[in-house]
Amino acid sequence: MSSSHPKESWNSRIGIILAVSGSAVGLGNFLRFPGLAAKHGGGAFMLAYFVSFLIIGLSICWAEWAMGRAGGQKGRNSSPGILAAITGQSNYKYFGVIGVLIPVMIYMYYVYIEAWCLGYSVNFLAGNLDFTSGEEVFTPVKGDVMCPLNAVTDEG
């Protein structure tokens, strides 16, 4: 399979490491981490967390890299195509579709968190937040769980 387009590549190794680490850690882990560290003993939790990240996170990253290389050498560049190329059976491409759908569902979660942040930011810039107590800071944003942007459009 020849292509007139040059093959895409990363500019640096640090870019690859940061992208994979960010993908492995995820937003939910990032938001929960300070609370979990404080609840479970600080330094001891950090040690267990780091060891778990190395054992589980890096092994999954290496597996993904290996699958990507194997599929890429066979001219495949999508999750369904890579699984079909690695196994040699075209039925496995349907499992690859799951690898496409799961990130779409994760993006929906990210958009929801971003809407909360946007609602909070707009209320902050509009001067609608009273910083006298911690509970009152998030009241405009947490009003409607299913639509955090209602806090931006509604008064009170």
**Residue 109, in any domain of the structure:** yes
**Residue 121, in any domain of the structure:** yes
Asked if pLDDT for residue 56 goes beyond 80, the answer is yes
**Residue 79, in any domain of the structure:** no
* Chain mean pLDDT for the chain: 74
**91 vs 4: which has the higher pLDDT:** 91
Each residue of 8-27: pLDDT tens digit?
Answer: 777 888 877 777 777 666 66
Assign 156 a pLDDT band (cuts: 50, 70, 90): very low
Tokens of 5: 């387009």
What's the pTM value of the predicted model, to 2 decimals? 0.45
Contact 57, 24 (CB under 8 A): yes
Structural domains counted in the chain: 2
Query: Of 73, 108, 123, which closes a domain?
Result: 73
Contact 148, 141 (CB under 8 A): yes
**Residue 110, in any domain of the structure:** yes
3-state secondary structure of 48: helix
Each residue of 20-52: pLDDT tens digit?
Answer: 777 666 666 766 777 777 787 777 777 887 888
Q: What's the rounded mean pLDDT across residues 53-64?
A: 83
**131 vs 36: which has the higher pLDDT:** 36
pLDDT value of residue 126: 85
Residue 120 belongs to domain spanning: 94-156
DSSP states of 45-103: HHHHHHHHIIIIIHHHHHHHHHHHHHHHHTT--SHHHHHHHHHS-GGGHHHHHHHHHHH
Contact 123, 141 (CB under 8 A): yes
pLDDT value of residue 40: 77
